[in-house]
Amino acid sequence: MARSKEFDETVVLKKAMELFWEQGYEKTSMQDLVDRMGIHRRSIYDTFGDKRSLFLAALDAYEKFITHEMETIIRQKDSVHAAIRDVFLFILRSSDQYPKGCLSVNAAVELSLLDQEIDRLVTAMFNRTEGMFEDLIRHGQQNGELSDEIDPVQTARFLHNNLIGLRVLIKTNYSQKELESIITLALKVLD
């Protein structure tokens, strides 16, 4: 009879996700994962597969987490402008609770040129974020909050590019005030 797992897969996957988020893929060793996840190496292989498979699972968990957080923010706002602003502010302020930066941006920079599957996954993640912004812009145009002169596709891409830039700058010595001023300027595209 197979033994039951003595750990919660969701909990240990979150620990792996945060470690990859902090250190990147290459810098994270299997021993680092064993130490952070608090489970045996054999349990990691039996549950998640090799390091790459675990990374892919962590990337998927990350996307679900970020998507849930952004959707929650959007649902709580009556204004499209406020929803988009608060998505940016969430990214800015999340480094107080989570590793700085963004796991999907880190994966794009570190691995997209080396691994076609990761490239496709990260590109799809980026496209979904742009789609979220595009949907918000279209909604704002329909309810009269935003001008019909705004191109939803190009503006969504511009906003997403700024969001990615913010996720990178968070890892540097830019001050909170400087980063907030970047957000303010980026959101002027909606005026």
The secondary element (H helix, E strand) that includes residue 178 is: helix 176-187
Instruction: Specify the DSSP class assigned to residue 125.
Output: H
**What pLDDT, in 10s, does the model give residues 129-159?**
999 999 999 999 999 999 999 999 999 999 9
- CATH class (in words) of the domain with range 58-190: mainly alpha
How far is 71 from 77, CA to CA, in rounded Å?
10
Residue bearing tokens 């599957």: 117
pTM: 0.89
Query: Does residue 3 sit in helix, strand or coil?
Result: coil
Amino acid identity, residue 126?
A: F
**Closest to 63 measured CA to CA, from 15, 107, 13, 125:** 125
How far is 43 from 39, CA to CA, in rounded Å?
6
Cα distances (angstroms) measured from residue 178 to each of 9, 166, 170, 171, 184: 39, 11, 10, 13, 10
Amino acid identity, residue 149?
A: E
* Per-residue pLDDT in tens (0 to 9) along the chain, 191 residues: 445 568 899 999 999 999 999 999 999 999 999 999 999 999 999 999 999 999 999 999 999 999 999 999 999 999 999 999 999 999 999 888 888 889 999 999 999 999 999 999 999 999 999 999 999 999 999 999 999 999 999 999 999 999 999 999 999 999 999 999 999 999 999 99
Domain ranges of the chain: 58-190
Token pair recorded at residue 70: 């952004």
Max intra-chain CA distance, the chain: 65
Instruction: Specify the DSSP class assigned to residue 50.
Output: S
